[in-house]
Structure 1
Amino acid sequence: MEIKAVKFRKDGFYTQPFVMGGEEGKEKFDPNIRYRGSLQNYLIDTGSEVILVDTGLPAGTPEEVPDENSFGFTGKDICTYMEAFEALGYKPEQVTKILLTHRHADHSGELKSFPNAKVYVNQEEMDAAELQGLTNLVPVSYTDGPYYNFPESQKIQDGIYLIKAKGHTKGNSIIIVEMDGLFYMIHGDITYVDEALYEDKLSVVYDDLPAARETQNRIREFIRKHPTVYCGTHTPQGYENLEAKRVMDLDNPVPTVLAEVDFSKQEGSGKYVCSICGYVYDPAEHDGVAFDDLPADWRCPRCKQSKEKFNKA
């Protein structure tokens, strides 16, 4: 069995208030501390099956244009998700299963591109706007009982488990792959950067804050008891941990490397992208109304987040 990272954006960043301010408030943290950001999802090659964990952004999603006030930047395009997937030497028709951590578009964006795959998703996410129109969804109700200290799990096959981990979204899941004596935790967005797990802080992005706290407590407890490689979506630490088979030690953090940022003036397109669900606001589709001219209480049509969660593109 082998796990590979499907890398499609690089050189992004996330500010400390964004990645750590969920419980204590953003004002408690330093917006000038910017952690490295990227975008990648994961592929599990079992030898007999190709299984994906999440499927990236939809092709055509514009890059954000960050400035000094931006709380995050998902990064510069390396290529599309599908190009990154195919560069690993696979074809879409080879994929038999997709394990979805959650509904957001940077995780579900290319589900439609895998016609032979069954998409395993928490049954609580089935009505999400991002998943409408898909006919290959398999609702998961976690019928296989506890997995160590996690109360609810679904065994996908020997050594691969889909585990309920609510909080970031109401139907959030993580995946654990047991391989070579290690536990590879592909966690989606439990944390945006590893520093948040070391410091035991929650991000500002959640549907259910108490559930997010409970999930993070369970994850930290699991990591203390089991040799765990922690593989995230929004930081290069995710694939660095994977490639180095680096076991997370909560008491001995890996030294932080901060993002290198350049806010040279860039021309925006007039479009804005929701940092939560990936919805693109295009004035051309809204009678030419500029994003800045929308009412202060306007919300994302898809995920209902406020205007402040949008980034210029």
Structure 2
Amino acid sequence: MRIHHLNCGSMREIAPATDPDGALRPLPAVCHCLLIETASDGLVLVETGFGTSDIRDPEARLGQDFLGWAQPVLDPEETAVRQIERLGHSPTDVRHIVVTHLHRDHTGGLADFPHARVHLHETEHRAATVTRGDRYPQAHWAHDPHWVTYSGTDGERWFGFDKVQQLTNLPPEILLVPLAGHTEGHLAVAVRRSAGPGPAWLVHAGDAYYYRGEVAPGLPPTPPMFDALQASVETDRPLRLDNLARLRALLAEHPDQVEVVSAHDPWEFRRMSVVDSVGSAA
């Protein structure tokens, strides 16, 4: 399987807390998505970032409060659908979408792929469509997606994480890893690389952390803006910090087997785009 790293939504510029060697110049936050080319199941999109409808009507779709603090660029060329077309694919080639959770900066592109099956944790689906908290934008799924939900009771053990599941009708090289705390039904998505550089497994940890220094030692401190934002949106801080510690241990104990990325760190996105740019043939 070949993996593409896509930024599907630049947002406000983030300045590092400190930058002694000049490696972390200020950069816009990103919406880090993965596009996975499978041999038999079409394209799989992990996260969607902002979509074309968000750009046409941002206030109705994203809300004034979000627009004010996130300051999204809303460039149509950054949408997943446009980037997929530039890679030579049709939007209908995206047969599956996997979302770590249903906050607005992760789901705006769902409507650009109305035919796709949308895979997520059942707890997250319930929170967004039944409880309907104010962080869940109902307009993003008004097109009635084909939801595929996964319970929190099934699954196997994987690198110390429990209840890890394969996705329905998808290759066993793509797994769902429960990683709650940011939201009640938040999860990570693990993808096994076929070949090429880097560890065998790539884990998209969504919003489990915002800055790589939270899981990798030796980096400058977390930018204050990221710290404040995470604290304001997390639903269960002790659980999130516990899962963050587990991610940190995962990287420390299995550096040759597992790589982890998050959704919004712009420096991490740039590094991973280079690592997987040579990819692996499907």
TM-score under structure 1 normalisation? Answer: 0.63
Give the aligned partner of residue 131 of structure 2. Answer: none
Give the aligned partner of residue 5 of structure 2. Answer: 5
The one-letter code of the counterpart of 1:183 is W
Q: Residue 158 of structure 1: which of 172, 187, 197 is its match?
A: 172
**How much is the aligned-residue C-alpha RMSD, in angstroms?**
3.0
Q: Is the 8 A contact 1:8 1:80 kept in 2?
A: yes
Give the aligned partner of residue 200 of structure 2. Answer: 182
Give the aligned partner of residue 196 of structure 1. Answer: 214
Which protein is richer in strand relative to its size? 1
Deviation at 1:34, TM superposition (A): 5.6
Structure 2 SS opposite 1:151 = strand
- Paired residues, what number? 226
Deviation at 1:95, TM superposition (A): 1.4
Deviation at 1:233, TM superposition (A): 2.2
The one-letter code of the counterpart of 2:149 is P
| Cα displacement string for residues 179-213 of structure 1 (whole angstroms, at most 9, x for unaligned residues) | 23522111212222213333697632311111111
**Equivalents in 1 of 2:182, 2:15: separation in Å?**
18
Bigger Cα Rg? 1
Q: Residue 77 of structure 1: which of 75, 82, 90 is its match?
A: 75
**What are the equivalent positions in structure 2 for 1:284-299 lying under 5 Å apart?**
none
**What are the equivalent positions in structure 2 for 1:135-146 lying under 5 Å apart?**
135-142=145-152, 143-146=154-157
Deviation at 1:224, TM superposition (A): 1.2
Give the aligned partner of residue 104 of structure 1. Answer: 103
1:130 aligns with 2:123: no
Q: Is the 8 A contact 1:9 1:79 kept in 2?
A: no
Give the aligned partner of residue 22 of structure 1. Answer: none
The alpha-carbon distance between structure 1 residues 115 and 8, as it changes in their structure 2 partners (threshold 3 A), is closer
1:230 aligns with 2:260: yes
**Equivalents in 1 of 2:32, 2:76: separation in Å?**
10
Give the aligned partner of residue 219 of structure 1. Answer: 247
**Equivalents in 2 of 1:7, 1:120: separation in Å?**
20
Q: Is the 8 A contact 2:12 2:71 kept in 1?
A: yes
Q: Is the 8 A contact 2:8 2:48 kept in 1?
A: no
The alpha-carbon distance between structure 1 residues 148 and 40, as it changes in their structure 2 partners (threshold 3 A), is closer
Q: Residue 272 of structure 2: which of 237, 242, 246 is its match?
A: 242
**What are the equivalent positions in structure 2 for 1:28-39 lying under 5 Å apart?**
36-39=28-31
| Cα displacement string for residues 18-45 of structure 1 (whole angstroms, at most 9, x for unaligned residues) | xxxxxxxxxxxxxxx9665223311111
Structure 2 SS opposite 1:185 = strand
TM-score under structure 2 normalisation? Answer: 0.69
Structure 1 SS opposite 2:269 = helix
Give the aligned partner of residue 159 of structure 2. Answer: 148
**Equivalents in 2 of 1:150, 1:163: separation in Å?**
7
The alpha-carbon distance between structure 1 residues 34 and 236, as it changes in their structure 2 partners (threshold 3 A), is closer
Q: Which moved more, 1:124-133 or 1:102-111?
A: 124-133
Give the aligned partner of residue 303 of structure 1. Answer: none
Structure 1 SS opposite 2:246 = helix
The gaps in structure 2 that reach 5 residues or longer are 18-24, 63-67, 129-135, 277-282
Deviation at 1:76, TM superposition (A): 6.5
